[in-house]
């Protein structure tokens, strides 16, 4: 890893620059597929499955039998791990339940919020080399806790038309209603518009390649909400001389193996640690099956040596990392200063993998600096807060005059009149 020592503040922005991915370049090709799905429904989904996933599907929905078969294909060890992870995710997300307080803002004026689940949600789970069953748990578990009535999942099948059994078992544990064999843009289109077999949903969640992301953005312009925009995964580690170089190196590599465009960065005030971590990364890299991917993403990764780790928080907040590990002595003090980050991991034992899988926090988090404006997925992501208000005659006396004056000054006389007729009735 490249070690940069004591860069000037002026250089920081350049050091932390992210690759620019422009989903708009894919706009036309993505829109063509989306339009096909809108017009032809299931037929078009099957056509694209044949073209892209090389499989001819009779039916899109995963059957009861396939669900049963999946149960028999997943080891007890993995099943137990899924159950434990689900339990922790459920505990943490259940603790996020919202109880609206009724507030009397003025005499006789009562206002409150009620959290109501989005009725139909769609989850996209990518296929490819790694079956992301952990993401199934991360999305379906809070959807179920929220009370979403229909939880639809789309994921691409393999060339035999099968879905990875661990994905099916995770879906069953977490309470997914319906699972469909569909990947890429066609899956996003199917959930956004609805087809003969895939229900139309109101919000789509989940990761995917740049085509999936572009499709999510396109459908979000008109048809559905989406969880958040997305880019390559990232970790920033702030470490001082109390950090364990073996742990830090392992954490950096666990991010680097995600993809060649993964963003990995470490800040430290200890030149000694910088050397040790750098050496450890080289040593650990050798043993990794995904060595080639990790190596590529490490080419752009940096260890930045600074004079004071406390100072680093300024630039780290500017960077707004998806994951932030604080491997420092006084991590609670530093944690208080975090303004922009998706998820924060405190101390030597809180590795990112803990949160990626089983601690209970969500792993669907804002990348590319979006942490400045977006939260990671949480229980709220599956709900809306609807406001209610009830005025009594006293309420009309409390605010009636103010409403009349404001409406008149905004030149909205019918708004004023709706209050006037009530005042006059008292």
Residues in region 301-330 near its own copies by CB under 8 A:
none
Q: Is 299 a catalytic residue?
A: no
Is residue 230 involved in binding its own copies (CB under 8 A)? Answer: no
**Smallest separation (angstroms) from its own copies to the CB of 51:** 26
Query: The tokens 């997305």 sit on which residue?
Result: 230
Q: Is 323 a catalytic residue?
A: yes
The beta strands (E) that lie in 98-169 are given as: 103-106, 109-117, 120-124, 150-155
Catalytic residue among 49, 280, 322, 404: 322
Q: Are 5 and 305 in contact (CB under 8 A)?
A: yes
Query: The tokens 């995917």 sit on which residue?
Result: 208
One of 193, 219, 345, 367 touching its own copies (CB under 8 A): 345
**Smallest separation (angstroms) from its own copies to the CB of 335:** 6
Helix, strand, or coil here: 41?
coil
Q: Which stretch binds its own copies (CB under 8 A): 153-161, 172-180, 304-312, 387-395?
A: 387-395
Residues 36-55 that bind its own copies (CB under 8 A): none
Catalytic residue among 323, 352, 363, 404: 323
The pair of three-digit structure tokens given for residue 197, joined into one six-digit string: 């077999």
Binding mask 233-272 for its own copies (x = CB under 8 A): -----------x-xx--xx-xx-xxx--------------
Sequence length of the chain is: 426
Helix, strand, or coil here: 282?
helix
Residues 152-191 that bind its own copies (CB under 8 A): 166
Q: Which stretch binds its own copies (CB under 8 A): 37-45, 57-65, 306-314, 402-410?
A: 402-410
**Smallest separation (angstroms) from its own copies to the CB of 12:** 17
Measured from the CB atom, is 59 or 94 closer to its own copies? 94
289, 352, 353, 377, 402 from 345: Cα distances, Å: 26, 7, 10, 17, 49
CB atoms within 10 A of CB 129: 7
Is residue 18 involved in binding its own copies (CB under 8 A)? Answer: no
What is the rounded CA–CA span in Å between residue 193 and residue 99? 33
What is the rounded CA–CA span in Å between residue 168 and residue 251? 29
Catalytic residue set:
322-323
């Amino acid at each position: 890893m490249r070690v940069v020592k004591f860069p000037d503040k002026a250089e920081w922005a350049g050091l932390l620059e992210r690759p620019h991915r422009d989903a708009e370049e894919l706009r036309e090709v993505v829109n063509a597929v989306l339009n096909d799905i809108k017009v032809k429904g299931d037929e078009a989904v099957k056509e694209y499955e044949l073209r892209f996933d090389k499989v001819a599907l009779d039916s899109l929905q995963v059957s009861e039998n396939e669900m049963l078969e999946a149960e028999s294909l997943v080891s007890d060890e993995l099943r137990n791990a899924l159950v434990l992870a689900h339990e922790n995710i459920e505990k943490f997300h259940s603790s996020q339940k919202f109880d609206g307080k009724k507030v009397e803002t003025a005499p006789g004026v009562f206002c409150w919020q009620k959290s109501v689940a989005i009725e139909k949600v769609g989850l996209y789970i990518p296929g490819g080399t790694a079956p992301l069953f952990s993401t199934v748990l991360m999305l379906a578990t809070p959807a179920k806790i929220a009370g979403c009535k229909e939880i639809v999942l789309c994921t691409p099948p393999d060339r035999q038309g099968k879905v990875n059994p661990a994905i099916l078992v995770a879906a069953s544990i977490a309470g997914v209603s319906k699972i469909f064999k569909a990947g890429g843009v066609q899956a996003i289109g199917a959930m956004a518009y609805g087809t003969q077999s895939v229900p139309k949903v109101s919000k789509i969640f989940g990761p995917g390649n740049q085509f999936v992301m572009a499709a999510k953005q396109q459908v979000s312009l008109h048809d559905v909400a989406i969880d958040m925009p997305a880019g390559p995964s990232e970790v920033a580690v702030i470490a001082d001389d109390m950090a364990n170089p073996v742990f830090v190196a392992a954490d950096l590599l666990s991010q680097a193996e995600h993809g060649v465009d993964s963003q990995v960065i470490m800040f430290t005030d200890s030149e000694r640690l910088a050397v040790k971590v750098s050496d450890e990364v080289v040593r650990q890299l050798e043993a990794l099956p995904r060595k080639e991917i990790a190596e590529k993403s490490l080419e752009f990764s940096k260890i930045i040596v600074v004079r004071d780790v406390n100072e680093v928080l300024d630039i780290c907040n500017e960077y707004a990392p998806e994951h932030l590990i604080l491997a420092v002595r006084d991590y609670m003090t530093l944690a208080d200063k975090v303004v922009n980050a998706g998820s924060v991991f405190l101390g030597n034992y809180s590795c990112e993998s803990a949160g990626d899988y089983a601690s209970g926090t969500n792993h669907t988090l804002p990348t590319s600096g979006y942490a400045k404006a977006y939260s990671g997925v949480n229980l709220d992501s599956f709900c809306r807060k609807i406001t209610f208000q009830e005025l009594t005659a006293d309420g009309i006396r409390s605010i009636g005059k103010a409403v009349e004056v404001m409406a008149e000054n905004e030149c909205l006389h019918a708004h004023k009149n709706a209050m006037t007729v009530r005042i006059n009735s008292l």
